[in-house]
Structure 1
Amino acid sequence: MKIPIRIRAALYRSSTRNLELSEIPTPMPGEGEVLIKVAATGVCHSDLHILDGEMIPPPDGFILGHEVSGWVVEFGPRCENPHGLSSGDPVVVSWIIPCGKCYWCVHGQENYCPYAATRMPGILGLNGGHAEYMVVPETAVFPIPKGLDVYTAAVISCAYGTAYRALKEAEVRPGISLVVIGVGGVGLAAVELANALGAYPIIAIDIREMALKKAKELGATHVVNAVTEDPTSSIRDILPQGADVVYETKPTPDLKLAIEVVKRGGTILVTGLGSSKIEIPANHLVMNGIKIVGSLGYRPRVDIPELLALAASGKIQPGRLISHRYTPDEINQAYQNLREGKHHRALVIWG
């Protein structure tokens, strides 16, 4: 695969909190790294937290984009290539890159590895995938099975990964009742995954009819429009005792509805990285034995291969989540449309 001298990349500009499409030198892989030709990057709300100043801003010229798929181009020196990859092989790129040696990694909690927290491609430390090429440690790449579309596989690395780990933390399985509050990219992935895992009923809550329609397509047994219906009453009509698990997927979680509809002894899941503060009456929490579980990303060495296998078997279909595709020139419009709630999940196509 011929490597160009210069490539296009969308650079973060601190002065405007916008992305500027520019030409930069092609990055070259160092020791233990691999060069990836980017196929697609997801347009994720976590990026908006950065662009809108809700998270610590990256340095000027940083490259966002943490939900990435592409093709292997070249390995740097001293790579072990455990997957036996060759140039041109399609891969998903993980934005969580654990060290494999720290306390959290050896105890099976690699998503909380402090080393990983300093090198999250497209979020912190390492440049991400909003570019024609990117460089990542080889431990960040996972082969895409034959038959899966390389472009839509990008959403495995964030939307599906985040939802899958959260559902695992809550031990969602056949017969578990689930409420999903907010059915954007992660919420819709959670609905589809919960359906594949046998949860029942699955109730999706949102204020957008298009999102609720998509949730129904992906396996929600009931949908509730929080504008036209009282969500608490609607959920309690379906589940008088409340839900076993309530997954609050909103980017800025508040848990107000979740507290009202979770059953005694139930679990509330939170994955949003917004700057909101959560207030919960302590007596309600204690008297009802409610568990609140925060879940960051996923455990890449376990969760990503399992998700790719689920997709290869047809039990989940990531392509159904994609509602919009953009060219690199349209990248700022893509994020504006995300702000306005126009997407299920969108991709920027680079390859």
Structure 2
Amino acid sequence: MKAAVYKGYGLPLEIEEVPNPAPKEGEVLVKVASTGICHSDLHLLSGELVGPLPNGFIIGHEIAGWVEKIGENVKNPYGLKEGDPVLVSWIVPCGICRYCANGKENYCKDNAKRLVGLIGINGGHAEYLTVPEIAVIPLAKNLDPYYSSPIACAYGTAYNALKSANATSGKSVVIVGAGGVGSAAIQLANSIGLNPIVAVDIDENKLKSAKLLGATHIINANENDARAKVLEALEDGADIVYETKPYPDFKLSLEVVKSGGTIVVTGLGGFSTLAQIPVTLFVSRGITLIGSLGYRPRIDLPDLVSLASSGKIDIKKLVSHIYTPDMINEAYENLKKGLHIRAIIRWN
């Protein structure tokens, strides 16, 4: 099969022919339709997240495709058959530990050693991949697998973050960063009934897209005093500020969240990324700060499939660029340049 193979730090991915994987016991072989180009991959390739990757590793953690083969002793609770469209979760919980039993499977300790396309399990920048069955979630038949891969990261990450911040109808939200995750958050905020929805970025094209996706206000932080502009729209500040930037600094978030409000963060940065918080401001205004990692695959992904299937979110609107596998390095370079909302690679 064709795959984009990691060759070392600072080197481009190489498209190679590698052996087709075969599902082991408890695994599912997936034929890949598309994989997303995510900023977390840049952190991964730079060594900021998990250190050097093993040569020959296949990245790509935002995946949709079809069931190709079901391995032995797969319990198959969804009744999947060969050819059925599916999402692949990059989070692979054990399903039985205390975290999993309490609806926090994104913090399952097993994830630390088996994150699809990130740690331990080859990812989806290939024509096929095998994953433990718990990572495979059915996709509605009326959704196109070629466009659905962002559900498995961008939408999932944004959805869990908003739920963690107790986002409910009528609350206001400021979304800092209008890339893939931020743009998904705008659509989801609309589906929940948040209002106003203020998008802040430094890229005018992303802001124009944010407006089309449902932002009630857009603010270019390069051309305006972002704090002043947000407070024009939200005199008392925002109920929720969602930091989606790859290197969150909290400066604007702390300036525009209302007293008693919540800041939720999903931008990873890297283990060396630090942020300063003015403690007196943080305490005296009763601000809640939440870190949110990914999503709960068996809870959040089915919810998102339902939202997309019913038309409450439009996943095709998120995809701004489509690349072929031989253009994968160009895709990551364009991501660095900020040219994408969300880009995908079509594999089959």
Q: Bin the TM-score by the shorter chain.
A: over 0.9
> Alignment partner of 2:264: what SS?
strand
Counterpart for residue 204 of structure 2: 209
Would the aligned equivalents of 1:242 and 1:262 in 2 still touch at CA under 8 Å? yes
1:341 maps to 2:338 = yes
Would the aligned equivalents of 2:9 and 2:46 in 1 still touch at CA under 8 Å? no
**CA shift in 2, pair 1:15/1:221, >3 Å:** closer
**CA shift in 2, pair 1:16/1:229, >3 Å:** closer
Counterpart for residue 324 of structure 1: 321
Would the aligned equivalents of 1:93 and 1:142 in 2 still touch at CA under 8 Å? yes
Distance in 2, matches of 1:277 and 1:252, equals 9
Counterpart for residue 34 of structure 1: 28
1:182 maps to 2:177 = yes
Distance in 1, matches of 2:45 and 2:53, equals 9
Counterpart for residue 281 of structure 1: 278
Measured after TM superposition, the shift of residue 103 of structure 1 is 1.7
Counterpart for residue 158 of structure 1: 153
Counterpart for residue 288 of structure 2: 291
Would the aligned equivalents of 2:9 and 2:47 in 1 still touch at CA under 8 Å? no
Measured after TM superposition, the shift of residue 17 of structure 1 is 3.6
Q: Which runs of 5+ in 1 are unaligned?
A: 1-6
**CA shift in 2, pair 1:12/1:227, >3 Å:** same
Map 1:225-244; keep pairs closer than 5 Å: 225-244=220-239
Distance in 1, matches of 2:293 and 2:9, equals 29
Measured after TM superposition, the shift of residue 57 of structure 1 is 2.5
Selected match of 1:87 from 65, 82, 89: 82
Would the aligned equivalents of 1:17 and 1:51 in 2 still touch at CA under 8 Å? no
Would the aligned equivalents of 1:271 and 1:294 in 2 still touch at CA under 8 Å? yes
> Alignment partner of 1:167: what SS?
helix
CA deviation map 1:192-219 (0-9, x unaligned): 0001100000000001111001111111
Distance in 1, matches of 2:13 and 2:180, equals 22
Distance in 2, matches of 1:42 and 1:109, equals 24
> Alignment partner of 1:151: what SS?
helix
Counterpart for residue 315 of structure 1: 312
1:11 maps to 2:5 = yes
Measured after TM superposition, the shift of residue 117 of structure 1 is 2.1
Distance in 2, matches of 1:33 and 1:330, equals 30
**Paired letter, 2:7:** R
Would the aligned equivalents of 2:9 and 2:45 in 1 still touch at CA under 8 Å? no
Measured after TM superposition, the shift of residue 27 of structure 1 is 0.6
Counterpart for residue 173 of structure 1: 168
**Paired letter, 2:32:** V
CA deviation map 1:216-265 (0-9, x unaligned): 11110000000111100001111111100000100111111000000000
Would the aligned equivalents of 1:245 and 1:268 in 2 still touch at CA under 8 Å? yes
**Paired letter, 1:79:** V
Selected match of 2:42 from 36, 45, 48: 48
Distance in 2, matches of 1:121 and 1:207, equals 31
Selected match of 1:147 from 142, 167, 179: 142
**Paired letter, 1:279:** Q
118-127 vs 47-56, which moves further: 47-56
Counterpart for residue 191 of structure 1: 186
Q: Which runs of 5+ in 2 are unaligned?
A: none
Identity rate, percent = 56
Counterpart for residue 3 of structure 1: none
Distance in 2, matches of 1:26 and 1:64, equals 16
CA deviation map 1:300-327 (0-9, x unaligned): 1110000000000000011100000000
Report the aligned-residue RMSD: 0.8
1:108 maps to 2:100 = no
273-282 vs 289-298, which moves further: 273-282
